[in-house]
Amino acid sequence: MAAMSCNLQIRTWAHLTPYPLASPRIAWQRLAWHCLVSLLPTGGDPLSSSSNSSNTGSSSVKRLTVVLLFDGVDLLDVTGPPEVFALLQRETGDAAGYHVVLAAETMDPVTTAAGVRVLPDITFQEASARSIDTLMVPGSVEVDDQRRVQALTDPTVVRWVQKLAGRTRRIASVCVGAHLLAAAGLLDGRRATTHWSTAQQLAADHPSIEVDADPIFIRDQNVWTGAGITACLDLSLALVAEDFGEAIALRVARQLVMYLKRPSGQSQFSVPIEPVSTTRRMDDLRHHITQNLAEPLTVADLAEHAHVSERQLTRIFKTELGMTPASYLESARVEVARNRLESTDDTLERIASACGFHTTDTLIRAFRRKLNTTPTEYRNRFRHTG
């Protein structure tokens, strides 16, 4: 593993990420490279000498990159980007690159959501005295007893984000860190993304933000937002590409055994059918859809099953699930098709028929709409091998 300037004190791996993944393989395909090790301090002032921030491409000056730390932060949000930046220096053998420091409110160890303790390099106050090239803001969540995920926004962290933003050339949120940027007012009037499980929360809490839950990352001028967990690697590679060119970023991507850019629009490959029903009638409708996906269900069929008019059915779906009946039906079919592509050798024709698409053309069009990819591309990337 490449050496990093930040400090990590490994305590324990208490539990896995609390996020409900649409496809667990997405995360695990790229977590093999990520080993939990102790990294020793580099010594000296973490903000000193040639490691000062710079907005230039000078080969002798590193870009000061500050990653925020706070209790409950997601571990990979913190460690993923520095690993990408460290591999850049290993690949180029140049003194240029990124000088990464971890900043927290105090110098006390910070306990992450994984139960691993991380040692800060500097305090927020010390960081605020310097000119920062890139400020990276990770996130944290809580999960209730129904497995619903809620992004957290500590007011103290939000205030420091606001203050540090004024000292920063470029700001990037990792995963649900977008909620901290939003609370700090840095996403107002911008287009942004976050982990798919909290996208509805972000949109509801901040109506002035154009929330797009699909992309892996979004850049809006000097503000970047990234999607779920391992997408921090994609985001970091994009920052490397912006600063040092795509050829260099591609070399780093190869070391990570991942794409420099995900194909077909960089979708999160998740289907938004997770909202919890609030009425027994909606639960019954969703169960009916799941049990009859192979049938040629229509909005009229669903309205008849629920004993309501089509207009009333549409209103119910939009109120409870935030989408139309037709959109939910297509999402449910894509979700089942996605699982079959991962776990079976069924032909596209058989999958299309079993999921109610009936023709491969309809299946392909649905995948492009919902996942920005094709069934074949999806299977090639996520097919179970054992």
11-23: per-residue pLDDT in tens? 333 333 344 434 3
Q: CA distances (Å), 91 to each of 211, 255, 365, in order?
A: 35, 9, 40
Specify the pLDDT at position 166: 94
Specify the pLDDT at position 2: 45
DSSP 8-state assignment for residue 98: E
User: For residue range 82-100, what is the model confidence (pLDDT) as tens digits?
Assistant: 999 999 988 887 767 899 9
Specify the pLDDT at position 362: 95
What pTM, to 2 d.p., does this model score? 0.62
Specify the pLDDT at position 296: 87
Specify the pLDDT at position 216: 81
Closest CA to 251 of 89, 32, 26, 29: 89
Show the low-confidence residues of the chain (pLDDT under 70). 1-60, 95, 257-280, 384-386
Specify the pLDDT at position 337: 92
Which secondary structure element, helix H or strand E, spans residue 65, and what is its range?
Answer: strand 62-68
Specify the pLDDT at position 285: 87
CB 214 within 8 A of CB 268: yes
User: Residue type at 368?
Assistant: R
Specify the pLDDT at position 265: 40
DSSP 8-state assignment for residue 379: H
